[in-house]
């Protein structure tokens, strides 16, 4: 599937971030993009590049966390032949590759203090020195950096240079997590689902069932848009009735009674289940109460059962689900139904 570069969303928090990126794009200044994993930091970097005067220059992307510390400086600044063991020939670094364009440094907070010092000089003076070289090389590239860390706290802890932070934070764009983007979850879910339905050659997209809609909106989405896309595409792919609305959601693809180590992990939960059923089963409500309002009585009894299981399992949701014979998703739906706090 082709690379997804569109911004999908309608919440004010999300649109404000996109508008700020668009406004900052025209200025030749460094920008910091802050956000949790999966919030779209790289998409913002691409927007900053494509809406700038450097749009026809290179956009060079480097994930600072993907390389061992010993290689980061060589990747950033390049090296001469024979500069270290294995350097058989000279190689330009990412700064030189991004000359005339934009250099996007992802996971900036993982850089070592030594690399930060050399990065500061490159940002300050626009010049880099290859490892093993004696003369610097002038480069003209815009720096866009991203992290999910709070850099001022890292400065206080002595893990990040204050002067480098000052140089890079001309503009700071903080992306909202998906759970804070009101109304965007189902918009995104519908968009990704339609794409997957097309890929599967479905005649049309039948939409989401009521249970699936509730589950999608009530999930916390710690992995944000990236997690949502995986969950949605998996749900559509596994649905065997293209003519009916998709109504089954699986958040954890690893959930299985046959997963490695399942016996050891689930043994305490099974023991808890026996204790709950043998020692502390709740008494059934009186028949007179049941006759008065059957649905309300059943709901109240179900809520008491869930709350009792929660207390017995020390409020561990997965253990509670196993104790009650429910899937994790079914437990979350039941909690939402009865207003039981997580």
Predicted pLDDT at 60: 96
Query: Does residue 283 register a pLDDT over 60?
Result: no
Among candidate residues 176, 196, 220, the one where a domain is terminated? 176
- Rounded distance, CA 62 to CA 39, Å? 18
Co-location of 191 and 110 in the same domain: no
Residue 156, CB-side half-sphere exposure with 13 Å CA sphere: 5
Q: Would residue 20 count as lying in a domain? A: yes
pLDDT in tens, 128-179: 888 888 888 899 999 999 999 999 999 999 999 999 999 999 999 999 999 9
Among candidate residues 122, 148, 176, the one where a domain is terminated? 176
Co-location of 300 and 186 in the same domain: no
Structural domains of the chain, count: 3
DSSP E strands in the chain: the ranges are 31-34, 59-63, 102-106, 127-128, 137-138, 142-147, 171-174
Query: Does residue 229 register a pLDDT over 60?
Result: yes
In sequence order, what are the residues at sequence separation of 6 or more whose Cβ sits closer than 8 angstroms to the Cβ of residue 335? 306, 341, 342
Co-location of 20 and 62 in the same domain: yes
Boundaries of domain holding 206: 182-238
Co-location of 308 and 328 in the same domain: yes
Nearest to 219 by CA among 341, 339, 329: 329
- Rounded distance, CA 122 to CA 124, Å? 6
Query: Does residue 272 register a pLDDT over 60?
Result: no
Q: Would residue 314 count as lying in a domain? A: yes
Are 130 and 17 in contact by the 8 Å Cβ rule? The answer is no
Nearest to 32 by CA among 183, 128, 146: 146
Among candidate residues 176, 191, 214, the one where a domain is terminated? 176
Q: Would residue 169 count as lying in a domain? A: yes
Co-location of 124 and 200 in the same domain: no
CATH number of the CATH domain containing 32: 3.40.50.300
Predicted pLDDT at 285: 56
Predicted pLDDT at 14: 95
Q: Phi first, then psi: give them for residue 165, nearest 5 degrees.
A: -60, -40
For the ranges 30-34, 83-87, 249-253, which has the lowest average pLDDT?
83-87
Co-location of 186 and 171 in the same domain: no
Look at 258 and 217; give whichever has higher pLDDT. Answer: 217
Co-location of 42 and 170 in the same domain: yes
For range 80-107, the mean pLDDT: 87
Q: CA angle, 89 as apex, 87 and 95 as ends, to 5°?
A: 85
Residue 212, CB-side half-sphere exposure with 13 Å CA sphere: 22
Query: Does residue 277 register a pLDDT over 80?
Result: no
Q: Would residue 30 count as lying in a domain? A: yes
Query: Does residue 271 register a pLDDT over 80?
Result: no
Query: Does residue 279 register a pLDDT over 70?
Result: no
Q: Would residue 125 count as lying in a domain? A: yes
Q: Residue 166: is it exposed, middle or buried by C-beta count within 10 angstroms (0-12/13-18/19+)? A: exposed
For range 258-287, the mean pLDDT: 52
pLDDT in tens, 76-93: 988 888 777 777 788 888
What global pTM score does this model have?
A: 0.72
Q: Would residue 1 count as lying in a domain? A: no
Q: Would residue 52 count as lying in a domain? A: yes
CATH number of the CATH domain containing 230: 1.10.8.60
Co-location of 129 and 229 in the same domain: no
Co-location of 94 and 163 in the same domain: yes
Co-location of 149 and 276 in the same domain: no
Predicted pLDDT at 282: 55
The tokens of 292 are what? 């008065």
Which of the four pLDDT bands, split at 50, 70 and 90, describes residue 341? Answer: confident
Strand, coil or helix: 174:
strand
Pairing relationship of beta strands 127-128 and 142-147 according to DSSP bridges: unpaired
- Total Cβ atoms within 10 A of residue 266: 16
Co-location of 62 and 157 in the same domain: yes
Co-location of 167 and 197 in the same domain: no
Q: Would residue 193 count as lying in a domain? A: yes
- Rounded distance, CA 63 to CA 139, Å? 20
């Amino acid at each position: 599937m082709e690379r997804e570069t569109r911004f999908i969303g309608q919440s004010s928090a999300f649109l404000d971030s996109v508008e700020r990126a668009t406004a900052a794009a025209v200025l030749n200044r460094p920008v910091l993009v802050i956000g949790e994993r999966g919030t779209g930091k790289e998409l913002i970097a691409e927007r900053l590049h494509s809406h700038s005067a450097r749009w026809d220059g290179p956009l060079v992307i480097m994930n600072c966390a993907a390389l061992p510390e010993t290689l980061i400086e060589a990747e950033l600044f390049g090296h001469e032949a024979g500069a270290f063991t294995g350097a058989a020939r000279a190689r330009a670094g990412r700064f030189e590759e991004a000359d005339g364009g934009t250099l996007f440094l992802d996971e900036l907070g993982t850089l070592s203090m030594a690399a930060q010092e050399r990065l500061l000089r490159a940002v300050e003076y626009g010049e880099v020195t290859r490892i093993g070289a004696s003369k610097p090389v002038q480069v003209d590239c815009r720096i866009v950096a991203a992290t999910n860390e709070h850099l001022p706290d890292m400065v206080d802890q002595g893990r990040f240079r204050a002067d480098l932070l000052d140089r890079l934070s001309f503009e700071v764009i903080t992306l909202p997590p998906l759970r804070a983007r009101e109304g965007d979850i189902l918009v995104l879910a519908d968009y990704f689902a339609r794409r997957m339905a097309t890929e599967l050659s479905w005649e049309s997209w039948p939409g989401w069932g009521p249970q699936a809609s509730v589950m999608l909106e009530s999930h916390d989405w710690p992995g944000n848009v990236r997690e949502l896309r995986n969950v949605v595409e998996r749900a559509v792919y596994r649905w065997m009735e293209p003519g009916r609305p998709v109504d089954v959601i699986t958040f954890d693809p690893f959930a299985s009674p046959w997963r490695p180590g399942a016996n050891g992990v689930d043994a305490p939960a099974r023991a808890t289940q026996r204790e709950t059923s043998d020692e502390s089963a709740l008494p059934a409500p009186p028949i007179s109460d049941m006759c008065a309002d059957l649905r309300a009585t059943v709901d109240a009894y179900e809520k008491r059962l869930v709350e009792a299981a929660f207390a017995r399992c020390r409020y561990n949701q997965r253990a509670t689900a196993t104790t009650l014979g429910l899937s994790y998703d079914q437990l979350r739906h039941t909690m939402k139904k009865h207003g039981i706090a997580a």
